[in-house]
Amino acid sequence: MVSAVHADGDDDRIVEDFQGNPADKSRTGGWLAAGLILGAELAEKICVNGISMNLVTYLVRVMNISTSGSANVVTNFMGTLNLLALLGGFLADAKLGRYLTVAISATITALGVSMLTLATTIPSMRPPTCSVNQRQHHDCVGSNGKQLAMLYASLYIIALGAAGIKSNCSGFGSDQFDSSDPKEEKAMIFFFNRFYFCISLGSLFAVTVLVYIQDNVGRGYGYGISAAAMAIAVFIFLGGTKFYRFRKPRGSPLTVIWKVFYLTWRKRKLEYPSDPSLLNEYHNAKVSHTQRLRCLDKAAILDGVDEKQNATWRVSTVTQVEEVKMVLKLIPIWSTCILFWTVYSQMTTFSVEQATVMNRNIGSFVIPAGSLSFFLIITILIFTSLNEKILVPFARKFTHKIQGITSLQRIAIGLVFSMLAMVVAAVVEKQRRTSFVQHGKTISVFWLVPQFFLVGAGEAFAYVGQLEFFIREAPERMKSMSTGLFLTTLSMGFFVSSLLVSVVDKVTNNSWIRNNLNKGRLENFYWLLAVLGVINFLIFLVFANRHQYKVEVFSSSSDDQEEIEMKERIDGGV
């Protein structure tokens, strides 16, 4: 028998199959559909990580760009990629839908990686090879405008495509589970962990196999494999169309946000009604009315003109107002997640540069500097598995909550790991530089493993926690845009890293971060991040303890409202 799936109880959004009929739960959705969707995200991870984790060595060694300049190229590329995810989420929610957005974005990504393959293969797209002696005396010939234009065009086309994949795959994957079905609700909770576990496998392949091929066989071959992986993912994704559950886009979520802000300002002088039930469509609201950000309620105040004209842009509904409140409630947590990704970005820039001046030999085999991220990824895989198999079931016994630990608790743990990582990184860099300068010894690259381990452990908690938080706490119509909002924390983290590097360079007169790390004071930069991390964590605790988790309702009787308010008090905060 055909069973129609409804989205979080939102009756006006019946989930459909690819033919536009109500979705049959026995034939669509579930782990098969989610797994096919996961293929696109897996390929995106292979492409992006295969580029970002080893790009800084290419820029320094081949394109003859300075260490700080190369670090900023990488962080700006990753920052732009994650910032564009907000656009990808907006397009999916407003017009295209998640399925079509992912399909188009995957195709664009394949095109960008193909261009990058050509840019790193054609000899005229690289400056003359620079000798060690020339590099030490700054006599290298830099990259010209044509060479940089080809490189940057490739990178930012990849950023545009990958952004659409990142902002929609997780949401489209979660669409394949019905949260009103207890069995599928439980599967959805594990989906986020397994989603991240699988894409981490793609990252592991990128930082080991692809990085090795790039350094020892050729950049063109490494990027060519990435392009092929993305093309295959497009075919697999499109081939699974008949197994997916689809939710039609419901118009631009930004329109709703701007409408509420506009009407709040326009009606700012009106008096609040004597009872909230007098607000527009209060009794038909799909989201419970709250007292927080009460000023926005003015957008839903009915006056005589509104009731007569019934004009869309003359009054908002309670549902629309509460949806905007939900988005605004995400901003404090959003702001305190940024610094985690600033710390993370060091693993793709300065940590890789540290590896290039350390002993990377295992017998006759030389470990590629970019492959140190192997320890980051393997730690993510280990902790993601431990979270699902041990931590969540254990925590569930004590909290009596199906998710075990809350998304905010996961984020908090991730922030603690990031602070510890920077402390360890500062100590190790001090030891590395002292050993070389004072004793002429090059210490083993494995001294860097602890900082990669700590950041990886932190990411296993922070990424899953943030992804779950922004998807589950967002209004239904804004889930893709909310995923994009989450990814802008990554974007801002990379941009903040670029800003800090530039500011530190200027304030310290280039004495902390130098092309020759042995003459710099990189450990001071790590200490700065550790101190900023402590301050950020304290602010996060304040915001997290004030946060109340979302509760959706479909009846607004007084009894229901009491139950909702009690649940919000129980579930509120960290």
Domain of 81, CATH number, reads 1.20.1250.20
Which range marks the domain in which residue 143 is found? 14-251
Residues 173 and 286 in one domain: no
Residues 278 and 378 in one domain: no
The angle at the Cα of 144, spanning 138 to 147, to the nearest 5 degrees, equals 120
Q: How far apart are CA 232 and CA 235, in angstroms?
A: 5
Residues 246 and 270 in one domain: no
285-327 per-position pLDDT tens digit:
777 777 788 888 888 887 765 544 555 668 888 888 888 888 8
On whether residue 3 sits in a domain, the answer given is no
pLDDT less than 50: residues of the chain: 1-12, 307-308, 552-573
Which of 291, 322, 353 corresponds to the end of one domain? 322
Residues 127 and 240 in one domain: yes
The angle at the Cα of 179, spanning 174 to 185, to the nearest 5 degrees, equals 85
Query: Which pLDDT does position 369 carry in this prediction?
Result: 81
387-404 per-position pLDDT tens digit:
767 777 777 777 666 666
Residues 431 and 345 in one domain: yes
Residues 232 and 286 in one domain: no
Query: Which pLDDT does position 402 carry in this prediction?
Result: 62
Which residue type occupies 281?
Answer: E
Residues 380 and 409 in one domain: yes
On whether residue 306 sits in a domain, the answer given is no
Query: Which pLDDT does position 6 carry in this prediction?
Result: 37
Residues 295 and 411 in one domain: no
Residues 408 and 425 in one domain: yes
On whether residue 571 sits in a domain, the answer given is no
Question: What is the total count of domains within the chain?
Answer: 3
Residues 523 and 511 in one domain: yes
Q: How far apart are CA 574 and CA 572, in angstroms?
A: 7
Burial of residue 379 (number of CB atoms within 10 Å: 0-12, 13-18, 19+): buried
Query: Which pLDDT does position 94 carry in this prediction?
Result: 76
On whether residue 496 sits in a domain, the answer given is yes
On whether residue 525 sits in a domain, the answer given is yes
Residues 247 and 259 in one domain: no
Query: pTM to 2 decimals?
Result: 0.69
On whether residue 189 sits in a domain, the answer given is yes
Contact by Cβ (8 Å): 529, 497? no
In 3-state terms the chain splits into helix, strand, coil percentages (rounded to 5) of 75, 5, 25
Residues 178 and 277 in one domain: no
Other CB atoms within a 10 A radius of the CB of residue 510 amount to: 15
On whether residue 463 sits in a domain, the answer given is yes
On whether residue 159 sits in a domain, the answer given is yes
Q: How far apart are CA 371 and CA 257, in angstroms?
A: 44
